[in-house]
């Protein structure tokens, strides 16, 4: 019994000491105060910082004048550099000394740093994502609509894998008509110097409005981030895509397409946190003369409480030569949903 009590006593004493030992990072604020804590991440112009007294807090990056840590981080600069480095102070405010190793170090302006990611050894610590669900019913028209989506991301230094899924159903009960739209996208991105990147992806989609039972695609290409700041990202890519289509009338065919992709993201982490994502994808066919597919999407989200968000999304899909002759050439919709991010 004495041995058990002694073990419990040691745990009570040592656990707080070990936890406290991890919080050895330092940041200096505009008012000159130094705050000890643990750097979690810097993203979208906000430093996520864990302290003893205030738990985890959001600190605007503009309000930090100096930063120091004895741990290594993945640091991304606005001009395209990515480094695994220790972070140290300099004799000047608003400057950061990045120490790559014992022989390589250099000074950058604090404003040049757009992202800091903690190097996490645990497998599960490298994941992030979110999910959302929306349900709408109009009694007057007797139309039921649901929208379900989710994404999961796994990131290591200079590489990221992501899985995105979405499902949308609209049921016109009076007309006994139901349309469905389902998508799944698996993607791998590898960051290259000067904001260039390589992408490989595979996707599956179904759209009854366009007469498509299934389209399986496999593609790859290269792109570049034209704008990469703490609050804005604009990127473009050119890709080659091969796919096989199964039409609702039983027909099947193979296609080879180009893919021109443009994406813009903007963030505002001042409460309430808001995000806006929009993209346009053009698929000119290389095997069917004159065929062009277009995807356009714009989605906004606002945090309502502690990582719970409200989303509003507009999507537009067009195909000037759809899978079946009697299918519509255009499908579009507006959805609202509530979700959670992690």
* Domain co-membership, 291 together with 335: yes
CATH code: domain of residue 292: 2.40.160.40
Task: Indicate whether 212 belongs to any domain.
Answer: yes
Give the pLDDT mean for 168-192. Answer: 89
* Domain co-membership, 106 together with 133: no
Task: Indicate whether 237 belongs to any domain.
Answer: yes
* Domain co-membership, 67 together with 188: no
* Domain co-membership, 87 together with 178: no
- Joined together, the tokens standing for residue 137 give 């019913």
What is the predicted pLDDT for the residue at 185? 98
Task: Indicate whether 41 belongs to any domain.
Answer: yes
* Domain co-membership, 238 together with 315: yes
Identify the domain boundary among 79, 97, 118: 118
CA-based end-to-end distance of the chain: 43
Task: Indicate whether 11 belongs to any domain.
Answer: no
Q: Are 26 and 36 in contact (CB under 8 A)?
A: yes
Give the pLDDT mean for 98-108. Answer: 91
* Domain co-membership, 188 together with 81: no
Provide the sign of the torsion angle of the four alpha carbons 198, 278, 274, 312, taken in this order. negative
Identify the domain boundary among 118, 146, 175: 118
* Domain co-membership, 75 together with 182: no
Q: Helices (H), strands (E): how many in the chain?
A: 1, 21
Task: Indicate whether 111 belongs to any domain.
Answer: yes
Asked if residue 14 has pLDDT above 50, the reply is no
- Helix, strand, or coil (residue 121): coil
Give the pLDDT mean for 4-9. Answer: 52
Beta strand 196-207 pairing with 212-228:
antiparallel
What is the predicted pLDDT for the residue at 2? 47
What is the predicted pLDDT for the residue at 269? 75
Domain that holds residue 33: 23-118
Give the pLDDT mean for 170-193. Answer: 88
Task: Indicate whether 2 belongs to any domain.
Answer: no
Whole-angstrom distance, CA of residue 97 vs CA of residue 104? 11
Asked if residue 290 has pLDDT above 60, the reply is yes
Q: Which residues of 208-245 are buried (b: 16+ CB within 10 A; e: fewer)?
A: bbbbbbbbebebebebbbeebbbeebebebebebebeb
Which region among 236-240, 315-319, 332-336 has the lowest average model confidence (pLDDT)?
Answer: 332-336
Identify the domain boundary among 92, 118, 144: 118
> How many folded domains does the chain comprise?
2
Task: Indicate whether 266 belongs to any domain.
Answer: yes
* Domain co-membership, 218 together with 108: no
Asked if residue 257 has pLDDT above 50, the reply is yes
Round the average pLDDT of the chain to a whole number and report it: 88
Give me the percent of the chain exceeding a pLDDT of 90: 60
The β-bridge partners of 220 are: 200, 240
* Domain co-membership, 143 together with 224: yes
Residue 15 binned pLDDT confidence (cut-offs 50, 70, 90): very low
* Domain co-membership, 51 together with 94: yes
Whole-angstrom distance, CA of residue 295 vs CA of residue 112? 34
Asked if residue 225 has pLDDT above 80, the reply is yes
Residue 127 binned pLDDT confidence (cut-offs 50, 70, 90): confident
Whole-angstrom distance, CA of residue 322 vs CA of residue 231? 38
Task: Indicate whether 73 belongs to any domain.
Answer: yes
Q: Please indicate whether residue 238 or residue 177 has the higher confidence score (pLDDT).
A: 238
* Domain co-membership, 142 together with 159: yes
* Domain co-membership, 203 together with 317: yes
Count of C-beta atoms within a 10 Å radius of residue 144 = 15
């Amino acid at each position: 019994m004495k041995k058990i009590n002694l073990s419990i006593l040691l745990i009570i004493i040592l656990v707080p000491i070990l936890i406290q030992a991890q919080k050895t990072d330092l940041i200096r604020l505009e008012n000159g105060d130094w705050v000890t804590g643990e750097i979690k991440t810097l993203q979208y112009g906000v430093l996520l910082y864990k302290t003893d007294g205030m738990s985890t807090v959001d600190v605007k990056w503009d309000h930090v004048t100096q930063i120091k840590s004895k741990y290594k981080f993945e640091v991304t600069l606005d001009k395209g550099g990515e480094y695994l480095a220790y972070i140290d102070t300099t004799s000047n405010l608003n400057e950061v000394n990045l120490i790559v190793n014992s022989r390589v170090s250099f000074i950058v302006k604090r404003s040049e740093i757009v992202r800091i990611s903690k190097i996490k050894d645990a497998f599960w610590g490298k994941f992030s994502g979110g999910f959302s669900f929306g349900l709408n019913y109009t009694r007057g028209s007797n139309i039921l609509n649901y929208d379900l989506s989710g994404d999961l991301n796994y990131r290591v230094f200079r590489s990221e894998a992501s899985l995105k899924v979405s499902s949308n159903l609209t049921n016109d009960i009076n007309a006994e008509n139901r349309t469905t739209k389902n998508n799944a996208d698996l993607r791998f991105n590898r960051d290259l110097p000067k904001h260039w990147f390589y992408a490989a992806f595979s996707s599956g989609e179904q759209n009854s409005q366009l007469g498509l039972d299934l389209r399986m695609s496999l593609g790859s290409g290269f792109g570049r981030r034209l704008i990469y700041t703490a609050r804005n990202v604009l990127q473009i890519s050119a890709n080659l895509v091969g796919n096989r289509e199964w039409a609702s009338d039983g027909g099947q065919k193979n296609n080879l397409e180009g893919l021109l992709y443009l994406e813009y993201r903007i963030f505002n982490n001042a409460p309430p946190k808001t995000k806006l994502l929009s993209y346009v994808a053009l698929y000119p066919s290389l095997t069917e003369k004159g065929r062009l597919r277009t995807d356009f999407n714009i989605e906004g989200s606002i945090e309502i409480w502690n990582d719970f968000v409200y989303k509003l999304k507009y999507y537009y899909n067009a195909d000037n030569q759809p899978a079946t002759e009697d299918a519509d050439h255009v499908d579009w919709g507006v959805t609202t949903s509530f979700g959670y991010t992690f």
